[in-house]
Amino acid sequence: MAGMNLGLLCSNECPELAAVIEAVAAGRLPADIRIVISDRQSAALSQARSAGFYGVFIPRAPFHDNRDGFERRLVEVLDQAEVRLVVLAGYERETGPVLAGAFPGRIFGQGLGPEELVGRLAENIRAGLLTLVEDPEQASGGRP
């Protein structure tokens, strides 16, 4: 389905990912899942791949306590996949200024359950809204 290019960030097996995949497949969510990224070797990657989506494992270990370095790598991979909106689908980390600056107003889903995530995401995409960040401080930074 042609629609908003999504990049999904996950940490473990997560019902949020399953809900987004199902909603896209059923046509309830006007979006293309361009990539699913997990910071853990998890069932989420298997789930994404078995549904026909590109799944990437980006381990945190090489970055130790360097969140900015890890997020720069996330941004690089998301940009290569031509992602327009980052969806936190069971992502167990807080996003930092590097990711928020690369996708100002285009990070969505922190703390939402599966049905609420899909419903609110679909509403916002259909309304043409790109300023979807729950926390306005996340939107600081930005790039052209």
| Token pair belonging to 25 | 């497949």
Q: Are 54 and 81 in contact (CB under 8 A)?
A: yes
pTM of the complete model: 0.85
At 133 the pLDDT is 40
Q: Which residues of 92-123 are buried (b: 16+ CB within 10 A; e: fewer)?
A: eeebeebbbbbbbbbbbbbebebeebbbebbe
First to last CA, the chain: 27
Secondary element (H or E) of residue 106: none
Could you tell me the residue ranges of all domains in the chain?
Answer: 10-128
Per-residue pLDDT tens for 59-105? 988 998 899 999 999 999 999 999 999 999 988 888 999 999 999 98
Architecture of domain 10-128: 3-Layer(aba) Sandwich (3.40)
At 73, give phi and psi (nearest 5°).
-65, -40
pLDDT higher than threshold 50 for residue 138: no
Q: What is the CA radius of gyration of the chain?
A: 14
Per-residue pLDDT tens for 21-39? 999 999 999 999 999 999 9
pLDDT higher than threshold 80 for residue 135: no
Per-residue pLDDT tens for 95-133? 999 999 999 989 998 888 999 999 999 988 888 765 444
